[in-house]
Structure 1
């Protein structure tokens, strides 16, 4: 029997979608349902919470960066070992950028193209019957996006629940319950979003608390019934980014964490071996690997420890003498000459590229990126087009003298200029690669 799926959407970020999704994932798991979490958009933090709640690896489905055939391939793969897919929307349900049909980056693209129904989560704090006006707008805005049910979040008194709930029911859309306002259900945040699941001091207890709240507040049977059996068109992994090597050394610790699950899974299935090492534990990339990958993460929070990790730095320099090294975002920062932390203290980095970065004067850089590789390297031959995403607060304070890694444009094709650096076998850039375009 085909897996069922439902998208958990909302009018905006901050509506509580992640808490509701995590709680539902664990609540369904408790019932013996094999449930998998999926995140739409380029958010690389939430899939870690989904995995923690279910024991199944998370996944991103990104309608702007991924071709429809690749989305179909990944969705089909995710559904093979699951009974139920809960797909958490990024931002608001319809939030994306102008572009080709169903390639805006919005979760609505997936609802429309794959005929997946939506559970609309409404934060009803500070309103009552007005919540029904919002729901009415969602019901009518796009007939191809089906709102199958509504869940109220952050509700107050019984009277509040009754007033808002009665108005929503009058629209003829099922109301599956109301989660009460509770500060204890909030997940901790920092500058790039939520604190990661792997760093949450009591993640298991928090997930259990969220599951208790969802079981108490929402009709799980109605939500399961609202999910629809998937009918996935034929897909292809042709646009997937190939493994950069046969045996890949990947930095893995609190400073380097952001590697998209679909890449990790594809590289392994393609026959590559992924070998983890920890720069914060002063470990060097294993010498028997043929490429080293430094993912994004939070080196700005651990700059002092990285600067003191002599074995890591010397081993990385030695590795780069004969084998490829690539850094994305935080990894790119670690490859430069120096990194200045939030307190204004400058720390020595690997020095394999000549740029310098700073977190002292923060400026948010956020958005889709279209990249054309200037030269052949770990992401493909020269001229290869890559779609990806950039999200960081650090900035380059000295670009150095290295050759550029890629020529980039924003999601709508407006040129931005050259990005990153490249020197001999070492390369790095602030953007995270998602798929070939």
Structure 2
């Protein structure tokens, strides 16, 4: 499988729509497209999945480590892997689109917003290509796609201004029905607000699919060293793509609905490699299935707080947590496990009451960062003194009780900054941090669930 990266000059230039149009163009030309997303985002990949018909791979060296990044790429399947970048090409202290492209040796196609320029758009492209020379890693800016560009003189003027060695790969005309609505945490998800299919077809007609495919390159495969502990992420190489220890007698329940929708495909794959995975929908009134562990992913519980307040699943969690059922709640899962949730309009709703916290939505985001967690004691996702890397992005804040116990110290930048994460009670962990399975967090969770399954077998059944 070959690949290439679609990168922007900044956030908001239209990378997601350009990526969707390129996926459609390649598909129409007969190529089998595997989408991917640079960075930790959950929302853009949901749009990729709707258009391509397959899960979008997450490519983030902070979350996955160097070897894990390559494993994540090669777990995809297709002729061409189209990677949507994050923010602007060079933006990001620990993780940038440029760094990911260089690590995978993939060419970069620059998405340029041409709505208010002509020859100056060519100057921007030239500047982004030349800036690569200032970096330690090689970044190959090889082509451009114009976003919000008219045909005729507008398109011709920009093409004439481009450097000769930058491939022109087409344009996306300005169309209102190509815009994706947004809200806090980003765009609406692909399942909620899919891009108009007819508009996407029209945009794909002006994309050079053959040119994109010709630029794509095959990145290095994971080396034999991937079987050793990855020093970047702290994850065991066996966590993804290596030998599994599948045990159909271990069952993990995963919440999957509008309130709990931020899940990496690799997470479900890894859980399925070692356990029987069953899903349930708390907002639809489903109870928690018979299981040895529960995973509550992030999402939008704040948009469904009233429904969740009366959901049988939250009552089940409250009852079964005290009996030792392992539960992992990430961000939205943390919110659902708390005492209460106050929405942006000031309405307060009762939640599961497992964790001693009251959560309140804020007008601005409260955290947006890659983080490193150091475990204080043995827990659901790590043993004492082990480190996990993850990502947090949330608009809520949690007020905790005096008796709150934290599982992790949080490291940002050069050292421990005094922050804590991971409220824990019984075998329940609620954390604002999203972890990728390459971190090893879900292997530890599966170990704890397996131990629980052994106890349940001796007692004559599951909880």
TM-score (normalised: structure 1):
0.90
- 8 Å Cα contact 1:356/1:400 also seen in 2: no
Q: 1:208 to 1:234 in 2, by over 3 A?
A: farther
Match of 1:100 in 2: none
Distance in 2 (alpha carbons) for counterparts of 1:308 and 1:260:
28
Asked whether 1:210 is paired with 2:200, we answer yes
Match of 1:346 in 2: 348
Asked whether 1:250 is paired with 2:248, we answer no
Distance in 2 (alpha carbons) for counterparts of 1:319 and 1:208:
49
The Cα of 1:361 is off from its aligned counterpart by 5.0
The Cα of 1:314 is off from its aligned counterpart by 2.0
SS of 2:86's equivalent?
Answer: coil
Distance in 2 (alpha carbons) for counterparts of 1:167 and 1:121:
15
SS of 1:258's equivalent?
Answer: coil
Q: What do the CA deviations read for 1:131-166 (whole angstroms, capped 9, x no partner)?
A: 111111121112411111111111146322222221
SS of 2:309's equivalent?
Answer: helix
Distance in 2 (alpha carbons) for counterparts of 1:69 and 1:402:
37
- 8 Å Cα contact 1:63/1:106 also seen in 2: no
Match of 1:93 in 2: 89
Q: 1:193 to 1:363 in 2, by over 3 A?
A: closer
Distance in 2 (alpha carbons) for counterparts of 1:412 and 1:280:
41
- 8 Å Cα contact 1:6/1:87 also seen in 2: yes
Matching of residues 191-210 of structure 1 within 5 Å: 191-200=184-193, 203=194, 206-210=196-200
SS of 1:14's equivalent?
Answer: coil
Q: 1:61 to 1:333 in 2, by over 3 A?
A: same
Equivalent in 20, 43, 63 of residue 22 of structure 1: 20
Asked whether 1:220 is paired with 2:209, we answer yes
Match of 2:75 in 1: 77
- 8 Å Cα contact 2:70/2:220 also seen in 1: no
Matching of residues 229-240 of structure 1 within 5 Å: 229-234=218-223, 236=226, 239=235
Asked whether 1:189 is paired with 2:191, we answer no
- 8 Å Cα contact 2:380/2:428 also seen in 1: no
Equivalent in 269, 278, 302 of residue 265 of structure 1: 269
Q: What do the CA deviations read for 1:17-48 (whole angstroms, capped 9, x no partner)?
A: 11111122123223332110000101011222
Q: 1:313 to 1:77 in 2, by over 3 A?
A: closer
Match of 2:433 in 1: 431
Structure 1 gaps of 5+ residues are: 98-103
Match of 1:177 in 2: 170
The Cα of 1:247 is off from its aligned counterpart by 1.5
Distance in 1 (alpha carbons) for counterparts of 2:192 and 2:391:
23
Q: 1:344 to 1:317 in 2, by over 3 A?
A: same
SS of 1:229's equivalent?
Answer: coil
Q: What do the CA deviations read for 1:62-99 (whole angstroms, capped 9, x no partner)?
A: 02222111112222222xx31110011011111111xx
Distance in 1 (alpha carbons) for counterparts of 2:326 and 2:352:
14
SS of 2:254's equivalent?
Answer: strand
Q: 1:167 to 1:400 in 2, by over 3 A?
A: farther
- 8 Å Cα contact 2:26/2:210 also seen in 1: no
The Cα of 1:411 is off from its aligned counterpart by 4.7
- 8 Å Cα contact 1:23/1:208 also seen in 2: no
Match of 1:285 in 2: 288
- 8 Å Cα contact 1:410/1:416 also seen in 2: no
Distance in 2 (alpha carbons) for counterparts of 1:285 and 1:339:
20
Structure 2 gaps of 5+ residues are: 230-234, 441-463
Equivalent in 91, 99, 106 of residue 116 of structure 1: 106
Match of 2:308 in 1: 306
SS of 1:86's equivalent?
Answer: strand
Q: CA RMSD in A?
A: 2.1
Q: What do the CA deviations read for 1:217-270 (whole angstroms, capped 9, x no partner)?
A: 12111111111233324163752668999321111110001121222222223x
Match of 2:160 in 1: 166
Match of 2:396 in 1: 394
The Cα of 1:416 is off from its aligned counterpart by 4.2
SS of 1:228's equivalent?
Answer: coil
Equivalent in 59, 62, 69 of residue 61 of structure 1: 59
SS of 2:196's equivalent?
Answer: helix
- 8 Å Cα contact 1:367/1:411 also seen in 2: no
Distance in 2 (alpha carbons) for counterparts of 1:76 and 1:172:
29
